[in-house]
Amino acid sequence: MAFKDVLGHSMAIHRLQNAIRTGKVVQSYLFVGNEGIGKRWAAVQFSKALNCLNNPVESGDACDQCVSCRKIDEGVHPDLLLLEPENQAIKVDQVRQMQKVLAYKPYEGRRRVCIIAAADRMAPHMSNILLKTLEEPPLHTVIVLLAHHPRLMLPTILSRCQLIRFHPLPVTLVSQWLSQQHGLDEKEAHLLAGLSEGSPGKSLELQEQIRQMPRENLLRDWLGPATLSFAKMEDWVEAMPSERTDLILVLEVAKTLLRDLVIVKTLGDDSKLIHADLQEDMTAIASKHSLPTLLKRVGAVHQTLMDISPIRGNANVRLSLEAMMLSWAEG
């Protein structure tokens, strides 16, 4: 696989290839985009293109056949360093080891490339350690930071990196990829593509969880009724997953179900539904609700997601769910 095989992201890939062709590759990049959208994959292809032994620089891409390309594919190239989180965060020892390795010239390739995943999850003291390397990067070195939430990073780090944005891919493109490359049927591919918000990697991660999730029950028994008794609200709070990450997924699915109800209520366009397989139930439920009520529920779920997110709010889960349910009871 090479740049030509990357799914979508033509603008980002064009900028990277143009830098190679013109000899204007900088030493620090920041790839920003949603989780699973392809940032890491593109960074690896960038390292292949920089170190390819066959293709001329003017091609801006890797041959995918030479020893260098094959070693990078197999994860054994000595000049490609990949730092990934251990227990959700990059550790001090990882960064210090990276600094030691970067102090030496490349062993085999033209450039030593270091890819740091989840750079936005670094603690402040870690960022300061990394900043020293970014301020005085070793020659023949390219550092690529991958981040989902760049606002959580130090401004001094952001200012030293060239920003490359990876935007969500069209749902149709991800759906086709899931069908053609992974053998999913059309309905499941469309559902996963919509839920993943244009992230191919996330769509595959969601596959088993979504298959096990009772979406029909969520729609008919929780989101659909005009009112819920306090006893029912309590039952739903108790039934929610205890793990925060699992709960967040349920709420994200609930938000897309409500989003579809709004689409049915306002546009009546089935082609825009994420949960197209539930269209019949959607139509019946949407007719029983006013648009302000549906929008209020979308807003309540969204706010709850913000409140309980480990990155944004990290609020008490039970209290947040109870507040959401009570806001629905107000009508």
Reported as a single tens digit per residue, the pLDDT across 178-201 is: 999 999 999 999 999 999 988 999
> Residue 190: what pLDDT?
92
Q: What pLDDT band is residue 284 in, cutting at 50, 70 and 90?
A: very high
Single-letter amino acid code for the residue at 96:
R
> Residue 271: what pLDDT?
81
pLDDT tens per residue across span 247-282 = 999 999 999 999 999 999 998 778 889 999 999 999
Evaluated on CA atoms 217, 218, 220, 225, the torsion sign reads: positive
> Residue 39: what pLDDT?
94
125 compared with 113, residue with greater pLDDT: 113
> Residue 137: what pLDDT?
84
The residue assigned the tokens 């891409």 is: 61
Arithmetic mean of pLDDT, 306-324: 83
**DSSP string of 216-228?**
HHIIIIIISSS--
pLDDT tens per residue across span 293-309 = 999 999 999 999 989 88
Arithmetic mean of pLDDT, 34-60: 91
Arithmetic mean of pLDDT, 109-129: 86
Q: What pLDDT band is residue 131 in, cutting at 50, 70 and 90?
A: confident
> Residue 330: what pLDDT?
57
- The closest alpha carbon to 221, from 238, 236, 209, belongs to 236
Q: Give yes or no for a contact between 240 and 247, defined as CB atoms under 8 angstroms apart.
A: yes
pLDDT of residue 319 exceeding 60, the answer is yes
Record the tokens describing residue 267, joined without a space.
């546009």
> Residue 167: what pLDDT?
93
Q: What is the mean pLDDT of the chain?
A: 89
Q: Where are the domains of the chain?
A: 3-165, 171-210, 213-329
Kindly report the CATH class assigned to 3-165: alpha beta
- The closest alpha carbon to 69, from 59, 58, 80, belongs to 80
Q: Give yes or no for a contact between 198 and 174, defined as CB atoms under 8 angstroms apart.
A: yes
> Residue 95: what pLDDT?
84
> Residue 87: what pLDDT?
73
pLDDT of residue 210 exceeding 90, the answer is yes
Model pTM score: 0.85
Q: What pLDDT band is residue 114 in, cutting at 50, 70 and 90?
A: very high
Q: What pLDDT band is residue 313 in, cutting at 50, 70 and 90?
A: low
SS3 109: coil
pLDDT-above-70 percentage for the chain:
98
Beta strands in the chain (DSSP E): 28-32, 80-83, 112-116, 141-147, 162-165
| DSSP code at position 106 | P
Q: Give yes or no for a contact between 169 and 37, defined as CB atoms under 8 angstroms apart.
A: yes
